[in-house]
Structure 1
Amino acid sequence: MEYIAIDIGASSGRLIRAHFKGLGGFELEELHRFKNGFENKGGTDYWNFNHLVNEILKGLEKVKQAGITECYVGIDTWGVDYGLLDKAGNLISDPVSYRDSRTQNAIADFAKKMSLETLYEKTGIQLQPFNTVFQLFVEDQAKLAQADKLLLMPDLLGYIFTGNAVTEKTNASTMQLLNLKTRKWDQDILDVVGVSEDLFPTITEPGQILGELQAEKFSDYDLPKAKFITIASHDTASAVVGTPAHGEDWAYISSGTWSLMGVEIPEGISTQKAFDSNFTNEWGVQGTIRFLKNIMGMWLIQEVARMQEYQYSFPELAELASQEEPFQQFVDVNDARFLNPANMIEALQAYCRETNQKVPQTPGELARCVYDNLALCYAVELENLEKITGRKINKLHIVGGGSNNKMLNQLTADVCEIEVEAGPGEATAIGNLMVQIIATHGYGTLEQAREDIRNCVELEAYCPQTSETVSQALTEFKSFINKKQLV
């Protein structure tokens, strides 16, 4: 049987085909790739939803052109963003991007109505200004009054193609509206936000059949017969499924626009230490919890490259960085100023001036600054992860597009003093596909699926190379961050 993963990130999307050959292997082929990004209209950053729909349809046409007349399809995207439908089932407006400035003061304003400690204790979700709870808190009241249903991005796309509306749970957990213990909508939080539980379609498990593609709605396209499955539709949930790990002594970094560092655990952790360290409990497949920390990630280098009008490719920037002196400045990569600055280079430089550090100027210095501080941040959060969970982590899996960055992989191994295994680069799409195959009785468990991933994809190991320079930089970085937090 043929399976198609529709995997859409904040900067690009792709359709990837998997030919499942039974237990023991699968073959992957990328059939379509396209760009994604938000656009500012009238002072608000929106996703171009019709663009996503049209690109998916183009991709499905290529599926048919490849000789695939019948297939299963799953959709994953980033989390927290949503579309509002009116009573007729029409989209009221393009979805607003989580990087829009409308939630800039939302956390502080929300805290006047419910303590942030209570919000965390209820949901186990880390505080991020762009979480759905805060987006809804500042949502246009006229739109909310008109809205009959709210659908997260992958569910919204699934609805457009099948006519069936659901709320897939791995993505729904990122909204900070669901109770960690009851696994239901938390009425106290809904009351603060001012919405009813009726706004949300039924919560569904990953691996459920959503419905058939309504090809008649898209008569301009020559489409295959496709059956959609609600997979682990949050891209990180799919990436964790696609992580070729075994045992319990491992952690992961899903490295893309964001770096998501965490472990897979059976029960959530919403302790004071977890709250203070701003870790999150997102729901995974087969009853698991993704206990993780959001780190700003490759967004930093993506924006540095964009500000240089892409004069250098990412491998070229990594090569330039490798020629620079390491650890010339310390930067809190999760500082709010880096979420969506007008100019990332100027934002990094201003940060260094304000903290009386050497200001990076050249492309190599800027890239070195980003990579050094990502690795240092990873080391700090890995230490927090071990303390909070009580687990000793012996291997760090780096998956996603960022796993192709050999320099950062080795730097991470060195700074974290841990063995790193990099790959697969398409972990999210692979995880998407694995849930489809599990749902249609190809695999029985995650362990079986991950065993096949290890056998079918190319992985690269990085052993830590410790040095006094690295150890001293990490000590100084921790001191810098602690002082900054006390200010």
Structure 2
Amino acid sequence: MNNYHVAVDIGASSGRLILADLSQNKLDLKEVHRFKNGFIFSAGHDRWNVTELFNQIIVGLEKVKKLGITNCIIGIDTWAVDYVLLDEDDQLLVEPVAYRDSRTNGAMAKVFEKVPKEIVYEKTGIQFLNFNTIFQYVSEDAELLSKATSSLLIPDYLAFRLTGKKCCEVTNASTTQLLNITDRDFDKELLEVVGLKKELLADLIESGTVIGDLREELMATHDLPECTVVAVGTHDTASAVVGVPATTDNWAYISSGTWSLIGVENQEPVVTKEALEANYTNEWGAYHTYRFLKNITGMWAVQEIARHLNYQYTYSEMAEQAYQVESFLQYVDLNDNRFTNPDNMIAEIQAYCRERGQIVPETVGELTMCVYSNLALIYAHEWKRLEQLTGRTLDVLHIVGGGSNVELLNQLTADVIGKKVVAGPDEATAIGNLLVQMITYSRMQNLKEARQWLAKEIDLKVYEPQPIADRDHLKKFEEMTVSKDYNKM
């Protein structure tokens, strides 16, 4: 049995290779390589440099070999929706366009002229975001698309460069908004709408499928360990949800970072009028599950406050000062578009409060407490909405990712929802990536067993709900901020 597993985890700003040594059946993790990522404006669009990302994976694997490791298993996860176009020689036609590029402006309307929005949701169960792959393909340069003989999503392309084998792993493929949840295949009508031939797309595979070994050419030109590539939850959120150490049945999760993704894991999709109106999505998860979730704001406001204060305070110092301030003094909808990318987050929050006759936060402690109090209320609002949409009573909220380290927010959230919050791990994405590899190679029998093992392996912090003076904060927040447009961001 191979004791060494590598999680290749690439986000929008950085990537890293995490090595797991499982020789003692313990989760012994080591970051062996970290590198920067980001898009640049090139050839008329914002583009990713996936060629360099692949090169950095090779550099990382060379470092693994230098540690004396001659054989390992690899899984790759990245962000969703973006894709490459390859020519008849399987070479990049051009570096891929990034999802934040403006080319998809107006693309939704083009699709809805041919297929109504409600039908698209009924077919796919996926929330509408203007950068979903369906709208990117509609916006693609027609001449360039005509030259393509295949198209792969980013993690599938990186796996192809390693192994020479093309595939399309389902957790990421579902975010294209081109998969039919009933047929569990690409929807023929939607492919026709975007002018895409199915022959351009690789065959769908499930998480946990073994893709193959490293290409002989790579082994001959680089000093690499012998590696087998496994399709994990290639969408990073899918891996993060696998990495939730849940041991009960009725739990929800928040994958917490710059954005927060709040949801539940379902065995069946929820494709109802109410789910559409609430802007919830049914992304496919590992092992035939569905991630019924919503993208909402996260640590962005605090990050921007720190930036505008020239980082004179660490996030921990900001939280320490917030502890000296009363909570829930303001009700602020941080999902409002005005907070998406303001010139000055501090001034924007202050203006919002001033316009509504609320107490205006001035100090760093007051601003930080304002943000965390309202994040907790937003989480509570969506917690209630999740119970309504799923018809379930939820017992515990698991917070994973970098935001799980924010103790103040964790406690405020437990207080407002009135339920236990379990925080950790902050490395949920990489760990989820590794867990799928472990299940594939029979170290664990299934996802339930893997999560139970994980819960024993890592340090988790539990936050029990504490009494708060006013239990009507959520009601007041909803009355003052949740407009008819709240769910349509």
Q: 1:249-272 deviations in whole A, cap 9, x for unaligned?
A: 111111123211111111111011
Report how many aligned residue pairs link the two structures: 485
Corresponding position of 1:6: 8
1:465 paired with 2:451, answer: no
Query: 1:401: how far off?
Result: 1.4
Corresponding position of 1:128: 129
Instruction: After superposing the two structures, state which structure 1 stretch, 242-251 or 296-305, moved more.
Output: 296-305
Separation in 1, partners of 2:80, 2:367: 29
1:411 paired with 2:408, answer: no
Q: How does 1:330-409 map to 2 (within 5 A)?
A: 330-339=331-340, 348=349, 362-409=363-410
Any conservation in 2 of the 1:64–1:223 contact (CA below 8 Å)?
yes
Separation in 1, partners of 2:348, 2:13: 20
Corresponding position of 1:188: 189
Corresponding position of 1:482: 482
Q: 1:194-244 deviations in whole A, cap 9, x for unaligned?
A: 212122111011111112223634866432111111111111111111111
Separation in 2, partners of 1:105, 1:309: 37
Query: 1:431: how far off?
Result: 0.9
1:429 paired with 2:404, answer: no
Any conservation in 1 of the 2:333–2:482 contact (CA below 8 Å)?
no
Query: 1:307: how far off?
Result: 4.6
Query: 1:380: how far off?
Result: 0.8
Q: CA 1:216–1:264 in structure 2 vs 1: closer, same or farther (change >3 Å)?
A: same
Any conservation in 1 of the 2:208–2:232 contact (CA below 8 Å)?
yes
Any conservation in 2 of the 1:74–1:228 contact (CA below 8 Å)?
yes
Separation in 2, partners of 1:94, 1:337: 32
Corresponding position of 1:78: 79
Q: How does 1:145-184 map to 2 (within 5 A)?
A: 145-184=146-185
Corresponding position of 2:236: 235
Instruction: After superposing the two structures, state which structure 1 stretch, 136-145 or 332-341, moved more.
Output: 332-341
Query: 1:280: how far off?
Result: 1.0
One-letter code aligned to 2:424 = G
Corresponding position of 1:289: 290
Separation in 2, partners of 1:47, 1:299: 22
Any conservation in 2 of the 1:99–1:340 contact (CA below 8 Å)?
no
Instruction: After superposing the two structures, state which structure 1 stretch, 45-54 or 411-420, moved more.
Output: 45-54
Separation in 2, partners of 1:244, 1:407: 21
Q: 1:141-200 deviations in whole A, cap 9, x for unaligned?
A: 233222222211211111122221110001111111101111111122222222121221
Query: 1:104: how far off?
Result: 3.8
Query: 1:10: how far off?
Result: 2.1
Instruction: After superposing the two structures, state which structure 1 stretch, 368-377 or 287-296, moved more.
Output: 368-377
Separation in 1, partners of 2:114, 2:366: 44
Query: 1:333: how far off?
Result: 3.3
Q: TM-score, normalised by structure 1?
A: 0.92
Instruction: After superposing the two structures, state which structure 1 stretch, 78-87 or 358-367, moved more.
Output: 358-367
Corresponding position of 1:31: 32
Query: 1:394: how far off?
Result: 0.7
Separation in 1, partners of 2:371, 2:86: 40
Separation in 2, partners of 1:77, 1:84: 17
Separation in 2, partners of 1:84, 1:474: 47
Query: 1:111: how far off?
Result: 2.6
Query: 1:332: how far off?
Result: 3.2
Instruction: After superposing the two structures, state which structure 1 stretch, 69-78 or 472-481, moved more.
Output: 472-481
1:110 paired with 2:111, answer: yes
Unaligned runs of 5+ in 2: none
Query: 1:17: how far off?
Result: 1.4
Any conservation in 1 of the 2:247–2:455 contact (CA below 8 Å)?
no
Q: 1:291-317 deviations in whole A, cap 9, x for unaligned?
A: 111113234433444454444333233
Any conservation in 2 of the 1:215–1:223 contact (CA below 8 Å)?
no
Corresponding position of 1:443: 444
What SS does structure 2 have at the residue aligned with 1:483? coil
Query: 1:461: how far off?
Result: 0.3
Query: 1:55: how far off?
Result: 2.5
Q: CA 1:129–1:320 in structure 2 vs 1: closer, same or farther (change >3 Å)?
A: farther
Separation in 1, partners of 2:337, 2:148: 31
Separation in 1, partners of 2:130, 2:363: 32
Q: How does 1:264-279 map to 2 (within 5 A)?
A: 264-279=265-280
What SS does structure 2 have at the residue aligned with 1:448? helix
Corresponding position of 1:198: 199
Q: 1:27-59 deviations in whole A, cap 9, x for unaligned?
A: 222222233333344763322323322322222
Q: 1:374-423 deviations in whole A, cap 9, x for unaligned?
A: 22111111101111111111100111111111111112112222100001
Separation in 2, partners of 1:46, 1:361: 39
What SS does structure 2 have at the residue aligned with 1:282? strand
Q: CA 1:85–1:448 in structure 2 vs 1: closer, same or farther (change >3 Å)?
A: same
Q: TM-score, normalised by structure 2?
A: 0.91
Q: CA 1:324–1:135 in structure 2 vs 1: closer, same or farther (change >3 Å)?
A: farther
Instruction: After superposing the two structures, state which structure 1 stretch, 348-357 or 246-255, moved more.
Output: 348-357
Unaligned runs of 5+ in 1: none
Separation in 2, partners of 1:426, 1:329: 32
Query: 1:3: how far off?
Result: 0.5
Separation in 2, partners of 1:401, 1:125: 26
One-letter code aligned to 1:148 = T
Any conservation in 2 of the 1:190–1:197 contact (CA below 8 Å)?
yes
Q: How does 1:213-252 map to 2 (within 5 A)?
A: 213-214=214-215, 216-217=217-218, 221-252=222-253
One-letter code aligned to 1:485 = D
Separation in 2, partners of 1:377, 1:42: 40
Corresponding position of 2:318: 317
Separation in 1, partners of 2:108, 2:354: 28
What SS does structure 1 have at the residue aligned with 2:422? strand
What SS does structure 2 have at the residue aligned with 1:387? helix
What SS does structure 1 have at the residue aligned with 2:69? coil
Separation in 1, partners of 2:317, 2:301: 16
What SS does structure 2 have at the residue aligned with 1:5? strand
Separation in 1, partners of 2:375, 2:216: 45
Separation in 1, partners of 2:425, 2:129: 28
One-letter code aligned to 2:11 = G
One-letter code aligned to 1:156 = Y
Query: 1:466: how far off?
Result: 3.2
Separation in 2, partners of 1:82, 1:340: 26
What SS does structure 2 have at the residue aligned with 1:112? helix
Instruction: After superposing the two structures, state which structure 1 stretch, 319-328 or 112-121, moved more.
Output: 319-328
